[in-house]
A and B are shown apart, each in its own frame.
Chain A
Amino acid sequence: MQEIKVYGVWGSPFSRRVEIALKMKGVEYEFIEEDLENKSDELLMYNPVHKKIPVLVHNGKPVVESSLIMEYIDETWKQNALLPTDPYDRAQVRFWAKFIDDKIMASVGAALLSKGGDISKAKEEMQELLTVLESEITKNKLFGGDKVSFLDIIGLFVAYWVPIVQDILGNHVLTRDKFPGIYEWADVLLDDAFIKKNLPDKDKLIPILRSRFGVKP
Chain B
Amino acid sequence: MANNNEVILLDFWPSSFGMRVRIALHEKGVEFEYRDEDLRNKSELLVKMNPIHKKIPVLVHNNKPVCESSIIVQYIDEVWSDKSPLLPSDPYQRAHARFWADFIDKKTYDGTKKIWTSKGEDQVVAKKEFIEHLKVLEEQLGDKPYFGGDTFGYVDVSLIPFYSWFYILETEGNFKIEESNTKIIEWAKRCMQRESVAKTLPDQKKLYEFVQEYKKKLGVE
Seen from chain A, the residues whose Cβ lies within 8 Å of a Cβ on chain B are: 49, 58, 61, 63-65, 68-69, 71-72, 75-76, 87-88, 90-91, 94-95, 98-99, 132
B contact residues around A49 at 8 Å (CB) = 103, 136
In this complex, the interface size class of chain B, counting residues with CB under 8 Å from chain A, is 20 to 34
- B residues whose Cβ falls under 8 Å from a Cβ of A: 52, 61, 64, 66-68, 71-72, 74-75, 78-79, 91-92, 94-96, 98-99, 102-103, 136
A-B contact count (CB 8 A): 53
Q: What would 10 more interface pairs be, CB under 8 Å, given A65-B98, A76-B91, A94-B68?
A: A64-B99, A72-B95, A75-B94, A87-B79, A90-B74, A91-B72, A94-B71, A94-B74, A95-B67, A95-B68
With both beta carbons as reference points, the residue of chain B lying nearest to A69 in the complex is identified as B95
Cα distance A165–B72 when bound, in Å?
A: 34
Decide if the interface of chain A is mainly helix, strand, loop or mixed.
Answer: helix
Alpha-carbon distance between A63 and B93 when the two chains are bound, in angstroms? 10
A65-B102, A94-B74 are known contacts. Are A99 and B52 too (CB-CB below 8 A)? yes
A88 close to B66 (CB less than 8 A): yes
Which residue on B lies nearest to A97, using beta carbons?
B71
Chain A residues with CB below 8 A from B95, complex form: 63, 68-69, 71-72
A99 CA to B64 CA, complexed, in Å: 19
| Separation of A41 and B130 alpha carbons in the complex (Å) | 27
- Cα A50 to Cα B14 in complex, Å, equals 30
> Smallest distance from the beta carbon of A50 to chain B beta carbons, Å?
8
Contact A88 B75 (CB under 8 A): yes
Question: Which residues of chain A are within 8 angstroms of B94 by Cβ–Cβ distance?
Answer: 71-72, 75
Whether the pair B66, A91 counts as a contact (CB closer than 8 A) is yes
Determine whether the beta carbon of B92 is less than 8 Å from that of A61: yes
CB pair B92–A63 under 8 Å, yes or no, is yes
Q: Which residues of B contact A132 (CB under 8 A)?
A: 52
B79 contacts across to A, CB distance below 8 A: 87
Contacts of A91 on B, CB cut-off 8 Å?
A: 66, 71-72, 74-75
